[in-house]
Amino acid sequence: MVSRDEFIDEVDFIAAEISVNPKEIHIRKMKKKIASCSSKGRLTFDPSVLEMDRKERYTVIVHELLHLRYPKHTKMFDALVESYTEKVFHTKE
Ligand SMILES: [Zn+2]
């Protein structure tokens, strides 16, 4: 479990690693999903992500941040999520 502040720090760190710049980062209860990325660059995460283990949480964060660059779910998108998640997971201890 991480705090909201720790989580925001993780998102900032991972955003810098990926070289993307989210406009806003929100944590609030979501009905159908655990995270979303708006076309305007606003990321929203359900509070349940704070309870995920680190690998799972990073995967969700990387996924949403990569949508700032690639809106669609393609095979390449999935491959990038996987490789960036591995990278940041081993960079940040
Ligand atoms: Zn997605």
Pairing relation of β-strands 24-27 and 35-37? unpaired
CATH code where residue 14 lies: 3.30.2010.10
pLDDT above 80 for 56: yes
**Residue 11 pLDDT:** 97
**Residue 69 pLDDT:** 95
Distance 63 CA to ligand 1 centre (A): 6
Residues 6+ apart with CB under 8 A from 30: 36, 44, 45, 46
pLDDT above 90 for 14: yes
Distance 13 CA to ligand 1 centre (A): 20
Whole-number mean pLDDT of the chain? 95
78: containing domain: 4-91
**Residue 92 pLDDT:** 73
**Residue 93 pLDDT:** 63
Distance 92 CA to ligand 1 centre (A): 23
Q: What whole-number distance in Å separates Cα of residue 34 and Cα of residue 72?
A: 17
The number of distinct structural domains making up the chain is: 1
User: What's the rounded mean pLDDT across residues 41-64?
Assistant: 97
